[in-house]
Structure 1
Amino acid sequence: MKQNLTLTNIRRPNSAKSETLTIENGLIKGWNLPSEGETIDGNGATVAPALLELHAHLREPGQEVKEDLASGLAAAAAGGYGTVVCMPNTSPVIDDPALVRSLIQKANGLGFARLRPSAALTKGQAGKQLAELSLLKEAGACMFTDDGRTNEDARVLRLGLEYAHSLGMVVSVHAEDASLRADGVMNEGPVSEALGLPGNPAAAEAARVARDLEIAALTGARLHIQHLSTARALDLVREAKSRGVPVTCEVCPHHLTLTDEALRGFDPIYKVAPPLRTQADADHLLQGLLDGSVDCLATDHAPHTRAEKEQDLLHAPSGIAYIELAFPLMYTRFGETLGLEKLLDLFTAGPARVMGWTVPTLEAGQPADLVLLDLETARKVEPQSFKSKAKFTPWAGEELRGWPTLTLVGGEVAYRR
């Protein structure tokens, strides 16, 4: 039986009142009850449901030099996340039910964030033959995706969506037309032209989003579009939603806070896929958060070794690892614009709605997956202290507010600063 726990001197979002929250057997027992078990002083922090991450690369199995379950889930807990959906583009690919079960079993013994593996839509993520989707769901896979690969064969994607729909599952897609993207390493535009680097046009994303939306409309299946980066693609999603297509989408903080101008120094730390776009794109995505066109925020946490990221822009891999500072980054940059309630929704209820999970709340009887957030104290980003193996970031040295001080998963301490 899990221990009882009482959190004192905490505040609900947008409240100045100091309260007490009691946890019993992994569930929220209630507010302002007599203390039970261990007492933790929240020091005036704001309590919220633990964050949900739908898009993280934890690199296990086979790429543990970049990240593993222990480091990745510890990093997630330090970032305030209670649940993480990991991507299947590992080595071997997560397309085997036995592998799904083993990852869940290992993660359950670590005591950090909860793991919900996604599984490959196609065998080996090769885009040719559907994986054993029913068996993967039975093993514990929560989503199907060939993330890291674009689904080039429209018929295979149609079949995958139809099969997933029959299982009540979501299919998420990396929506880029590979032939239009070609060898582009950054956004195609004035900056890429000035630097003499091959560009990846916004049309590559928009063209593939348009195709995938038509397939979703045809099948009636739940389609989730990952890491939207362009204004045009968001407009396509907005229009599809208006006519009832069952589509959701996510945006990553790096596409809101960075632009292709960051590449002028030729630093591969800014190389991501899809690439950083223009300020106009970033502004349009932010508007999508405000008007509800964007369903949730996701990090696309993508750790690499320092040696890999220190190659030149043509050869360095794409990806930024920052699951530990996603909330502070968004709160510091856009807390006033979005408001705390909306921002928390994008990190918690939004992802839950995408997946069809119960929307987390702070009500009695709910699972005690909670995070305490210090919204007042500014702290510098110190990559050397990251739990992740990728101890470097574009935001190193920046002062942010909104840092998690405590993360509970099922009423157990997963992170404590």
Structure 2
Amino acid sequence: MTGLTCLRDVTLADGQTTTLWMAEGRFITPPDGAADAKVINASGAVFLPLAVDLCARLREPGASHKATIASETRAAAAAGVGTLCLPPDTNPVIDQPAVVDWIGDRARGEAAEVKLLGALTQALDGAALADLGALLDAGCVGVAQPRRLPRASLLRQALQYASGLGCTVHLDPVHADLAGQGVAHAGRPAMLAGLTGIPASAEAIGTAVALELARDTGCRVHLGRITSARAIALIATAKQDGVAVTCDVSAHQLFLTDEALSGLDPAYRLDPPLRTEADRLALIQAVTDGTINAICSDRQPQDANAKTDPFPMTEPGGSTVELLVPAVMTLAQTEQWPLERVAQLLVDAPSRILGCESLTTAVGAVASGVLINPLQSPTTAHALRSAGQITPFQDISLTWQVQQAWRAGQPMASA
């Protein structure tokens, strides 16, 4: 048998310790005679199915000087992330089937699978709806309006249209007028640094609008990259009322606050912005109690030139997907989340939101997964595989690391 591999004494998402066997790209029962098997002593390590990242910009098409589909899928796969969901704010925007086809051709055969979200509005300018049906027929798994909400009347029309098509609408629930040209949370650190702020009310009002329109239309809505306690409270109430809404949070929002702005380090120029400690704690509680369905990387790789101007003029974002699995495992350890919850946040819930089949470790299933080890001493991000080396995780201590990842039984380059 080709690729015969044994993970001895490994812990799975259900908390059970077992021995896993892989061969011919699938999980198998223990074979008779395995002298040629590669045996890995995985005592103390955890094996999870490959993660699904709900928001990962790959910078291609439109900014291949920063990163490419090839570079970012390789980095993701090596770090235990097997599926990347690409928002439509590429250049050109994913508002035509031809763009879907082009990206699909570029991503075919790469180390990680790439799922596409089509644009909700033409050119994402919020003026007129895109041809949602054509985008879905071309292979998009949903439609999205990233960064800011369009006007409410158009959004209601869009949700009605999408509901009829049976697709999920992904929104960053930020009120455009209130957010304005802000570059940081409208709090004391931004005020002291002289930065234009984005108030938490921009997200709270945007969330309220999205939820009420979802309630009106019956459309499935996914609210991405939630940052504030006020938005979380609104989402929790809507869920109790039966509104068809899911939401996610970026991993770095669970570690960092706007206090990181004190040195005006451009690594912390992010959109959506870092908020307060009270918001961070509310986000962690929402992950714990299930209000937040998934954790994503919100990957936005940048090159050095994009971060050299004064803070307000630098481009937002950084490389984060390589830290996604270790970051969530670190939080699980500190917050005492069971491994089953980790799998829900990284694999099961994102798969359901995208309409994909969730990976398992059952005998006969495709042998795709990641082996994660606890560290004796915490470490920080270094030597990223991404083409973009700037990351908001630069000073965050993580207590887990990826040892090895496999896709269909094939080992990915070690992270």
Shorter-chain TM range is over 0.9
Matched-pair contact (CA < 8 Å) for 2:149–2:176:
no
**CA–CA separation in structure 2 for the residues paired with 1:95 and 1:38:** 51
C-alpha spacing 1:98/1:339, structure 2 compared with 1 (3 Å): same
Per the alignment, residue 267 of structure 2 pairs with 269
User: What corresponds to 1:87 in structure 2?
Assistant: 87
Q: Secondary structure at the match of 2:322?
A: coil
**Structure 1 residue 217: Cα displacement:** 0.6
- TM-score (normalised: structure 1): 0.92
Residues 359 and 265 of structure 1: is their aligned pair in 2 closer, same or farther, counting only changes over 3 Å? same
**Secondary structure in structure 1 of the residue aligned to 2:311:** coil
Q: TM-score, normalised by structure 2?
A: 0.92
Aligned position for 1:128: 127
1:69 corresponds in structure 2 to 69
Question: Structure 1 pair 40/115, CA: closer, same or farther in 2 (3 Å)?
Answer: farther
For the residues of structure 2 that align with 1:38 and 1:263, how far apart are their CA atoms? 54
The Cα of 1:156 is off from its aligned counterpart by: 2.1
Partner of 1:116: 115
SS of residue in 1 equivalent to 2:403: strand
Tell me which residue corresponds to 1:400. Answer: 398
- Mapping for residues 5-404 of structure 1, pairs under 5 Å: 5-13=4-12, 17-24=17-24, 26-30=25-29, 32-34=30-32, 39-44=37-42, 45-110=45-110, 112-148=111-147, 150-337=148-335, 338-376=337-375, 378=377, 380-383=379-382, 385-396=383-394, 399-404=397-402
Equivalent residue letter for 1:189: G
Aligned residues of 2:332 and 2:339 also touching (Cα < 8 A) = no
**CA distance in structure 1 between the partners assigned to 2:407 and 2:332 by the alignment:** 27
1:378 CA drift (Å): 4.5
Cα deviation digits, residues 170-198 of structure 1 (max 9, x gap)? 11011111111122211112222222222
C-alpha offsets along residues 115-152 of structure 1, whole Å, 9 cap, x if unaligned? 1111111111111222222221122111211213x232
Instruction: Report how far residue 308 of structure 1 moved.
Output: 1.1
Which amino acid in 1 is paired with 2:249? V
Distance 1:244 1:106, change over 3 A: same
Report the Cα offset of residue 278 of structure 1. Answer: 0.4
Deviation at 1:397, TM superposition (A): 6.0
CA contact (8 A) 1:227 1:300 kept: yes
Change (3 A) 1:9 1:145: same
Deviation for aligned residue 1:55:
0.5
Q: Which amino acid aligns with 2:78?
A: A
Structure 2 letter corresponding to 1:371:
V
**In the TM superposition, what is the alpha-carbon distance from 1:167 to its structure 2 partner?**
2.6
1:238-267 CA distances to partner (integer Å, 9 max, x unpaired)?
Answer: 000000000000011111100000001111
Taking the aligned partners of 1:90 and 1:244, their CA distance within structure 2 comes to 34
The C-alpha deviation readout for 1:12-38, integer Å capped at 9, x for no partner, is 3375745132243x43334x3347797
Cα deviations across residues 210-260 of structure 1 (Å, max 9, x unaligned)? Answer: 001011011111100010000000000000000000000001111110000
SS in 2 for 1:165: helix
Percent identity of the aligned residues? 33
- Let me know the Cα RMSD of the aligned residues: 2.2
Cα deviation for residue 341 of structure 1 reads 2.5
Residues 38 and 223 of structure 1: CA distance in aligned 2, closer, same or farther (over 3 Å) = farther
Q: Is the 8 A contact 2:93 2:99 kept in 1?
A: no
CA distance in 2, matches of 1:87, 1:350: 18
**Structure 1 pair 129–410 and aligned structure 2 pair: CA distance change class (3 A):** farther
Q: Give 5+ residue unaligned stretches, structure 2.
A: none
Change (3 A) 1:173 1:62: same
SS of the counterpart of 1:389? coil
Deviates more, 1:392-401 or 1:213-222: 392-401
Encode CA deviations 1:347-392: one digit per residue, 9 max, x unaligned: 1112122223333321123332211111345563353x21211112
Asked whether the equivalents of residues 4 and 38 of structure 1 are also in contact (C-alpha less than 8 Å), the reply is: no
Distance 1:6 1:266, change over 3 A: same
> How far is the alpha carbon of 1:313 from its aligned partner?
1.6
- Unaligned segments of structure 1, at least 5 residues: none
Contact 1:10 1:47 in 2 (8 A): no
CA displacement at 1:334 relative to structure 2: 4.0
